[in-house]
Each structure stands twice: as C-alpha cells, then as structure tokens.
Copies of this chain bind each other. A is one copy, B any other.
Amino acid sequence: MDVIGEDSYILVYRDRRRRWLIRPRDTPKLHTHLGILDVSALVGKEYGVTATTTLGDELVVLKPTIEDMVMKLARRTQVIYPKDLGLIMVKLGVHAGSRVVETGTGSGATTALLAYLVQPTGMVYTYDLNPEFQEVAKKNIEKLGLSQFVTFRVGDSRLGFEESEMDAGVLDVGDPWEVIGRMRVSLKPSAPMAAITPTTNQAEKLVAKMKEEGFVGLETVELLLRHLEARVGMTRPSNFMVGHTAYLTFGRRTSAPSQQS
C-alpha cells in the first residue's frame, strides 16, 4: 500500500485543467477557487482517496506518475511531449541498465524520464553549455529522487563527449549536425539515437550529416496527437489540437568510419 508522506509529491486532481502537483510539507493548505484543501490531513492516507475542500468540493489525491512529474518540469522552459518521449524511449530501447548520452539538458524533462527508465543500474550522461540551466535541471532531478542515475556535465558537446560505448543517444540542440559526429564516437556500434528538432530545415541538415557519418536506418517522423471526446451518442474529436511539436529523427550508428575525416 502506498501511503502519503510529508515529503511525497501528490497530484490533487479535479479535471484535466484543474490539477495541482504539491507536497504536504511545502503546501499544508491548498488554496483553490474550489475552496481550501487541508493537505496536512492527507499524510498517512493512501493515494487514490477523495478529499473535500472547505467549500464541499471533492478532489482526488493521486500519486503522480513520471509523466505528471516530467510535464510539470517541461512546462517551465521548453515544450516536450509524452507522445514524442514515448516513441523515443521505445525506439532507443531505454530500460534498466541502459547507458545513455544526452545533449542538451534543458529543463531536465527528458533527462528525468531517461533516468527513471535506466534505474537501478544504468546512467544518463547529460550535457549542457549553460551551467545555470543545469543547476535548475539538477534540482528537478533531485526532487524526483533520480540524482544517482544522472551525471551532469557542463560543456560544449560540439567538442565531444567524455563517454564511449553508450547504448543510446538523445540530441536536443539547435544545431544537431554540429554534434552528431561526436555523438557517433560516443555510441556503441549499432546503437540507436534520436534527435529532436522543430524545423524541417534542421531535420534536412541533420539527415544529410548523418548519412556522411555512416548512420543507417534513418527516419524522420512527426506525431500528431488528437483527443477524442468519447461521450455516449455524441463522440467527436476535440476542437483543440496541438499542430506541431517537433520532428524526431532516428538512426543507428554503424562501424563505418565517418566520411568527414
């Protein structure tokens, strides 16, 4: 049985738009327009319970999933979506024990999901040029209790990665074609990698460079997610839809030498 602690994250849930991700220690009373919720009183209870606000409104207290946590982090600086992360994780085969190299760290959202999946025996090596960004990401990863599965490195990945024989790589920088050659060297032969780029021009330049670097199995895709409003007798897709997040480019390193040198 999972019991709520003083330092546990809880997701107080009313509906898709009204949800709060908090900790009892930080937020003993949650003030909402639906009334005040006595969060302290939830300590010792089981996740999944319903709690009542001072205005009589019922809220459900959920245990946050890794998606809840990651999306919370992501919202602060950049946009990364579960649909994209999910496909990346499956294509890269990230799981317990994987050793993954990532650049850049950004808010640490992707890093967090990678760390969650590689535990308890793997490691994520994540690079960012910006030391301040990494500090934010580091704190985020700490909150999730995943710090021991992440090695943070401040530095310019265009100059290379310290690691080699990596199982997988994730590229989330503005000029991935400048980094892919270095990433090649850090990956095991045959290892898969993924790059996240918003524009068609970036995908175009990256794919050309990946061919030069001997990558195979190249594909660039985009995912469109649409909600279906499933209601008896009046089912229809939602009006609102996100039109674009990013192009995802995948490839596999080979033993072939770079045609660059």
Contact = CB atoms under 8 A, between A and B. Distances in A.
B189 A46 contact: yes
A31 interface: no
Given A2-B190, A119-B95, A220-B227, A254 B50 contact: yes
What copy number does this chain have within its complex?
A: 4
Nearest to A236: B199
Interface residues of A, number: 87
A192 interface: yes
A82 interface: yes
Interface in A195-216: 198-201, 203-208, 216
B85 A234 contact: no
Interface string A224-236: 1111111111111
A8 to B, nearest CB: 11
A73 to B, nearest CB: 14
Interface in A147-202: 165, 188-192, 198-201
A190 B220 contact: no
A93 to B, nearest CB: 4
A86 interface: yes
Contacts of A247: 228, 230
